[in-house]
């Protein structure tokens, strides 16, 4: 699987750099706003969000990624109150109910034909008053409609954040359940 060798070779080390900082900060700001006790981070990579997060009011954090190399890298950092597990989002149904679920630059890797099913599975693990946070690079063609036009979701916040390094930007949305 390409992500394993890419994490092994350091291809994704760049996510921890200054260029991408703003999108983690926006997610962190949403966490401060909604104050979740439990957080599920899907497609968590090697734990850059945990390194960037200043929000500390949670009691549990589960990071899930199908690249076991990245999961091991995250586990080795011993982030407080955080566990990391290897699962493929195509076959993953949360075992617990979470106050916040995060899809941080992960949803576009799910094939279009699987997105509705995978999103429904994910939402089965979201508390009825919970918040789904989604970050997508630039325009996110064929992705945002799954959130913005979803009758089960209501958009609570939507921000466009610009890198301070170049002209890259990300869109970060927060959704409650209807
Ligand atoms: C661009 S990286 C983002 C990593 C992390 N969310 C961050 O922003 O620092 C995309 C991540 O999604 C993961 N991913 C892609 N498809 C996945 C799937 N089907 N199941 C689980 N993880 C997946 C990759 O392994 C990779 O770690």
Cα of 155 from ligand 1 centre, angstroms: 23
Residue 125 within a domain: yes
Q: What are phi and psi of 150, to 5 degrees?
A: -85, 120
Residue 156 lies in a domain: no
pLDDT the model gives residue 23: 98
Asked, for residue 71, whether it belongs to a domain, the answer is yes
The pLDDT of residue 5 is 94
- Residue pLDDT, tens place only, 151-163: 999 999 999 999 9
Q: Predicted confidence band at 119 (pLDDT cuts at 50, 70, 90)?
A: very high
pLDDT at residue 136 above 90? yes
The per-residue b/e assignment along 67-98, b for 16 or more CB within 10 angstroms, e otherwise, is bbbbbebbbeeebeebebeeeebeebebeeeb
The whole-number average pLDDT for the span 31-36 is: 98
- pLDDT at position 54 is 98
> Residue 117 domain-assigned?
yes
Q: Is 175 among the domain residues?
A: no
Residue 9's domain comprises 2-98+107-129
Q: What is the pLDDT of residue 49?
A: 98
Flag whether pLDDT at 1 surpasses 80: no
Query: Which tokens belong to 169?
Result: 């930007």
Task: State how far the Cα of 39 lies from the Cα of 153, in Å rounded to an integer.
Answer: 18
Q: Domain holding 28: CATH number? A: 3.40.50.150
Q: Which two tokens stand for residue 72?
A: 């091991």
What is the Cα–Cα distance from 100 to 121, expressed in whole angstroms?
Answer: 15
pLDDT higher than 80, residue 140: yes
The answer to whether residues 54 and 33 touch, using CB atoms and an 8 Å cutoff, is no
- For range 32-52, the mean pLDDT: 98
102 class by beta-carbon count within 10 Å (0-12 exposed, 13-18 middle, 19+ buried): buried
**Best of 65, 71, 72, 170 for a ligand 1 pocket test (most atoms within 8 Å of beta carbon):** 65
In the chain, how many domains are there? 1
Q: Considering the domain boundaries, does residue 141 fall inside one?
A: no
pLDDT of residue 127: 98
- Residue closest via CA to ligand 1's atom 9 equals 48
pLDDT in tens, 51-88: 999 999 999 999 999 999 999 999 999 999 999 999 99
């Amino acid at each position: 699987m390409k992500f394993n060798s890419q994490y092994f070779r350091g291809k994704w080390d760049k996510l921890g750099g200054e260029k991408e900082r703003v999108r983690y900060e926006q997610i962190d700001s949403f966490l401060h706003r909604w104050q979740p006790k439990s957080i599920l981070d899907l497609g968590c990579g090697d734990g850059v969000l945990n390194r960037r997060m200043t929000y500390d009011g949670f009691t549990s954090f589960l990071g899930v990624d199908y690249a076991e190399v990245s999961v091991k890298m995250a586990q080795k950092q011993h982030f407080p109150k955080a566990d990391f597990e290897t699962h493929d989002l195509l076959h993953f149904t949360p075992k617990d109910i979470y106050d916040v679920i995060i899809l941080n630059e992960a949803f576009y890797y799910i094939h279009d034909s699987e997105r509705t099913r995978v999103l429904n599975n994910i939402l089965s693990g979201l508390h009825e008053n919970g918040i789904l946070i989604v970050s997508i690079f630039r325009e996110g063609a064929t992705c945002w409609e799954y959130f913005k036009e979803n009758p089960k979701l209501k958009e609570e916040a939507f921000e466009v954040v610009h890198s301070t390094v170049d002209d890259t930007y990300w869109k970060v949305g927060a959704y409650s359940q209807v």
